[in-house]
Structure 1
Amino acid sequence: MRIMETITTRRSIRKFTDEPVTKEHVLAVLEAGRWAPSGLNNQPWRFLVLNARDSRKQALEGCTKYAHVVRGAQVLIVVFLDRKAKYHHEKDCQGAGACIQNMLLAIHGLGLGGVWLGEIINQEKEVHQVLGTDAEHLELMAVVALGHPASGGSSSRRELSQLMVEPF
């Protein structure tokens, strides 16, 4: 796909089929995230991948009001920031956002569907407990749910003129 087409046709997909996602596709998505820009090129993101058979996946459903998305996804990519690799909180959070967006674009480009679950950070303590991860070392940024789309997504955008602080 051409990049502008990929960007403008990507949608958040919240319903998935039971068809498995290949390891090669998951690795391609992670590679896309790995290549995101970061301040000082510190690359502070860390990933934890849960497949449909991972027992922690079901427990993670209880950590978000979007349990149905977690339940239906074939793969979950939990995105953290490594607290020891960070140098500036806001800049590192921006880098994590770029990382997640790269992954969502790769998911779409591979013909898969995905969605960024950000609300789950409100339950960060519970997520760490469920996953057995170290809260002192890792800061939860989001979970990316992905799979083969069972339905399309929809979206609209404001006119560019409505987003401009002053005319260009």
Structure 2
Amino acid sequence: MDADQLLELIKTRRSVRRFAAEAPEAGQVAMILEAGRWAPSGQNNQPWRFVVVADAQTRGRLAQLTHYGKIIENAPLCIGVFSHKPSQYHQIKDAQAVGACLQNMLLMAHALGLGAVWLGEILKNAEQARQVLGLSDDLELMAVVALGRPAGPAKATERLELSELVAESYPAQP
């Protein structure tokens, strides 16, 4: 893949919220987790941990913890992404690392022809989600990724122009 192809992959990735019933293949899920595993992290602490949730009943219990529960219920699979507290060294740096991990996962899902969406609103009930999954308090929920085959095209969103996002260039460009 060259730089233009990579940029096109990034530009065409969408947040998919409607899924077909068919679950992703185990090998595809493994590749998505592997992509997340290779994200950068401060001091290479790799604070992320994953919980793959394929069971419909468990997804239903997680769905009750968020306004976006229908997405979780209708996805054939979800991945809980957690920060491993004993591995953390700096709250902001570790949150940034998990964000990079999530982006890698979303891009890999897209490259595999799958759809995914990063759900964060469930964080208001992070403790209950951890309990639903039967996890130790060493793990802090950072996001849930709903994953599956898209049920249709996802809506494209507008982006600000680059000139609106660059505050200043140093040295100043002519």
Which residue number in structure 2 is paired with residue 143 of structure 1? 144
1:80 to 58, 79, 82: 82
What does 1:21-60 align with in structure 2 at a 5 Å threshold? 21-51=24-54, 53-60=55-62
Q: Deviations over 1:18-52 (max 9, x none)?
A: 1121100000000000000000111010000011x
SS in 1 for 2:86: coil
2:70 to 64, 68, 71: 68
Moved more, 95-104 or 115-124: 115-124
Which residue number in structure 2 is paired with residue 162 of structure 1? 164
Give the distance between the partners of 2:76 and 2:36, measured in 1 at CA. Answer: 18
Give structure 1 regions of 4+ aligned residues with deviation exceeding 2 angstroms: none
Which residue number in structure 2 is paired with residue 134 of structure 1? 136
Q: TM-score, normalised by structure 2?
A: 0.92
Give the distance between the partners of 1:151 and 1:126, measured in 2 at CA. Answer: 32
Give the distance between the partners of 1:143 and 1:28, measured in 2 at CA. Answer: 17
Q: Offset of 1:55 from its aligned partner?
A: 2.6
Give the distance between the partners of 1:20 and 1:129, measured in 2 at CA. Answer: 25
Q: Deviations over 1:86-143 (max 9, x none)?
A: 11110000000000000000000000000000111111121112111122x0111000
Tell me, which stretches of 5 or more residues in structure 1 are unaligned? none
Aligned AA (1:71): E
Aligned AA (1:113): G
Q: Deviations over 1:66-85 (max 9, x none)?
A: 01100111110100000000
Aligned AA (2:51): L
Count, aligned residues: 166
